[in-house]
Structure 1
């Protein structure tokens, strides 16, 4: 069925008045009689008239709409980020359009074009794991569109970013395993082109160095997709080693969950034989058996901060036609200790 949007001309035709009279009546103009205003508003409501946002934006150069690109909607962390974005945006009088790249560079390119063509006032972006070139982003930035990057960021001198302290979070997670008496700690490494992967690996290495423990390359296994399946395969590879690890720190919770499956299928116990720690604190982490220790990221706060930065940038620019100085907000993580990493007799901290 074809969709036909009711216009001011349709209302004018129905009432036998001019479109300009309808327009002024809808805006409660003092020159229009109360009777005409009443007739126009009643008919507009009956016909479900909605203003044409695109047409209004062409006249006003502002749509009060923010565009958001995230890698995956099903990702619990990103769903909390969206909640934070909406919390700030709606309070400030902005609507939100959400798209997902589905971890595809091509989808990301399509989404960014669609948001630009929808005349959003600015964009909030977390790049896909395939994104290693940024020409598509640079072309939109060159058109003057305000952008703020969050979590997975494009690092350039002209854009604000909101990130969590992945390095410190990973370091704390690894230190926790060392404190539990673990001496051979493996790391399941994430997508190689993402900054968060590099920061989590660096935190793992720093904790080992601080405790004068060797960094063994054979204990660092790549999980470029960070999925449950990859985590399981990586853990199976580690379990085949003559001197298997006594702990695994995974780049995210799905990889940690896959590792837990492999450990159980091998007839080993968690954490007695192998302790496991994840990253992100997904909603299912506490429901696993045993419950998964994980690094919690403040997703809601990240969304709030990213939206605040973008709205500030939009309103600063609309006032002075200049961009404010870019900012980087770094949010703290928190280690949530559960049974998957607690060796017998070791109390929770």
Structure 2
């Protein structure tokens, strides 16, 4: 078996020089880097990851906690992370909060996921959280304590802004996104606008609900939350059930803002079964602008979130923390959202097959 000593001998350099080239730990001149890499190639040498990790105290593994990897949103976020982290030689260990069928609450599964990743000595954790607003501070304190127990493990939050608790965060403005959706429906002539929310304990869902409420109030329109709002849980099944609920209790509804595109799939099915034409009778707008929104019939208007960029920006921030642990204060990176108009709200909207950030 080829060893690092063989590589050093072949390249005519010291073992420490080979180690520095392979691990990127110290500066090595370009000429020596070429010699070492050529020796590695000629000898077909492979680094022993276990031995390297023991020496550097790094596992070259990043932990990722997602809320629903089988949904339409997180695969693109994780893809963005992977593309950034893989370039630096990191692997991903994914814990999905919806992937367990046990009787534990989502918060219990979330804490179990953190414990699992910390015990595996990952080099950093990017996480999405289901914690409710009133419990955020205590939750942030607990995970920071856990992450700093044995070695300092940097954390980056997705979708929630934990920067005030000392945790780097990448998120979008759900209130503004909700406002964009409702303004569009009103601009399209809707007078009776309903809303299908995400899980009501979710901060992101509450932000989108608040955007809905604020625009209706600004426009002097009635806001009856009991009649005009139905709760979902981000699944297409819940969108179907919630849309049928709105049709019963709010029969004059002529527009609906659905808090994600996956629920909008179910909402469109319910409207079709009830004989309602989209957009002639009821206009529908979703949120996230995932790939399916462009191929539904009719294609779904949506609020675009830069999903891959969410993941890649979170990965870049995490890598900076790994390389320079004693850096600046916690970062709060707010990603912009934008309106994408399709035929579910405007019958003659131009087809747009924009594939770049699906």
Question: TM-score, normalization: structure 2?
Answer: 0.78
Report the secondary structure of 1:62's partner residue: coil
Task: Tell me how far apart the structure 1 counterparts of residues 66 and 349 of structure 2 sit (CA, whole Å).
Answer: 39
Task: Tell me how far apart the structure 2 counterparts of residues 41 and 293 of structure 1 sit (CA, whole Å).
Answer: 53
Task: Tell me how far apart the structure 2 counterparts of residues 243 and 63 of structure 1 sit (CA, whole Å).
Answer: 57
Matched, 1:241 2:249: yes
Report the secondary structure of 2:253's partner residue: coil
Shift of 1:41: 8.0
Report the equivalent of 2:128: 126
Q: Is the 8 A contact 1:105 1:130 kept in 2?
A: no
Task: Tell me how far apart the structure 2 counterparts of residues 153 and 78 of structure 1 sit (CA, whole Å).
Answer: 18
Matched, 1:180 2:188: yes
Report the equivalent of 1:140: 146
Shift of 1:93: 4.1
Shift of 1:83: 1.9
Task: Tell me how far apart the structure 2 counterparts of residues 243 and 25 of structure 1 sit (CA, whole Å).
Answer: 78
Q: Is the 8 A contact 1:81 1:300 kept in 2?
A: yes
* Cα deviation code 1:44-95 (max 9, x no counterpart): 96xx966143x43332122333221112222332111112212222334433
- Structure 2 CA distance for partners of 1:129 and 1:258, relative to 1, 3 Å: farther
Match of 2:290 among 254, 272, 282: 282
Shift of 1:337: 0.7
- Structure 2 CA distance for partners of 1:50 and 1:60, relative to 1, 3 Å: closer
- Structure 2 CA distance for partners of 1:272 and 1:160, relative to 1, 3 Å: same
Match of 2:268 among 249, 260, 265: 260
Report the secondary structure of 2:291's partner residue: coil
Structure 1: runs of 5 or more not aligned: 1-10, 13-21
Shift of 1:153: 5.2
Matched, 1:301 2:306: no
* Cα deviation code 1:80-115 (max 9, x no counterpart): 111221222233443333332227444433332232
Size of the aligned set, in residue pairs, is 314
Q: Is the 8 A contact 1:276 1:293 kept in 2?
A: yes
Report the equivalent of 2:97: 101
Shift of 1:281: 1.2
Report the equivalent of 1:161: 169
Matched, 1:220 2:224: no
Shift of 1:27: 5.5
Instruction: Tell me which structure has the larger Cα radius of gyration.
Output: 1
Structure 1 residues 48-59: aligned runs within 5 Å: 51-53=48-50, 55-59=51-55
Shift of 1:23: 4.9
Task: Tell me how far apart the structure 1 counterparts of residues 8 and 200 of structure 2 sit (CA, whole Å).
Answer: 54
- Structure 2 CA distance for partners of 1:107 and 1:215, relative to 1, 3 Å: same
Report the secondary structure of 1:340's partner residue: coil
Shift of 1:334: 1.4
Matched, 1:60 2:56: yes
Structure 1 residues 326-337: aligned runs within 5 Å: 326-337=330-341
Shift of 1:266: 0.9
Structure 1 residues 10-49: aligned runs within 5 Å: 11=1, 22-25=3-6, 30=13
Task: Tell me how far apart the structure 2 counterparts of residues 97 and 247 of structure 1 sit (CA, whole Å).
Answer: 41
Is the deviation greater in 265-274 or in 153-162? 153-162
Question: TM-score, normalization: structure 1?
Answer: 0.80
Report the equivalent of 1:81: 77
Shift of 1:347: 9.1
Shift of 1:316: 1.1
- Structure 2 CA distance for partners of 1:339 and 1:78, relative to 1, 3 Å: same
Task: Tell me how far apart the structure 2 counterparts of residues 41 and 92 of structure 1 sit (CA, whole Å).
Answer: 19
Q: Is the 8 A contact 1:64 1:120 kept in 2?
A: yes
Structure 2: runs of 5 or more not aligned: 16-35, 100-105, 352-358
Matched, 1:115 2:117: yes
Q: Is the 8 A contact 1:313 1:324 kept in 2?
A: no
